[in-house]
Amino acid sequence: MVAKDSPSGKVTQTVPDSGNTETGLTAAEALAQIDKLTTSSISGTAEKDEAGYSFCRDKRKLIGKPFVIVEWTEPLGNFGGPYAHVRIVTRDRRTLCFDDSSTGVYAQLIKLRENGQTSGIACPNGLRVSEYTHEETGRAAATFYLDEN
């Protein structure tokens, strides 16, 4: 029995109570695999940060998806510039993280910190995106923002 992504983006599978005779998995093991597949489909990878939050490498998957920022840090990137490492909990209780160094999310978080807000930041509409053509390279680009409205 194989779990498959449905058109709605949800993973579905029927799991027997005593064990799956096709794979030898117990119901608990099958559910754990489904959870891993679902997390992977949202985050784009099963990779986790040091706190156990699954990386969401494709921020587009957070557009319109409600979440709360649990915490964020400001490490230095590979080129010496700071960025935001953001840990979130989604409405369906997934613990995800993403990085941002833009004039969008990162700049918003700096401003929120200046106003004394560093955690428990509700984003009822998840992220929003502004797409544009980069002036110097001519390539398509995108800046993501916290959608707090």
pLDDT in tens, 119-132: 999 999 999 999 99
Q: What pLDDT is stored for residue 81 in this prediction? A: 84
Contact 109, 119 (CB under 8 A): no
What percent of the chain is predicted at pLDDT more than 90? 55
How many angstroms separate the CA atoms of 128 and 104, rounded? 10
| CA atoms within a 13 Å half-sphere pointing along the CA-CB vector of 65 | 20
Q: Taking Cα atoms as reference points, which of 70, 62, 124, 117 lies closest to residue 95?
A: 70
Which residue's structure tokens are 């999310």? 105
The 10s digit of each residue's pLDDT in 16-64 is 333 333 444 555 554 454 445 444 444 444 588 888 999 999 999 999 9
Cβ partners under 8 Å of residue 74, min gap 6: 82, 83, 84, 85
- Domain borders along the chain are 4-43, 54-146
CA distances (Å), 39 to each of 33, 34, 62, 129, in order? Answer: 10, 8, 13, 22
Distances (CA, A) of 119 to 54, 84, 86, 122, 134: 18, 13, 10, 9, 32
The pTM for the full model equals 0.66
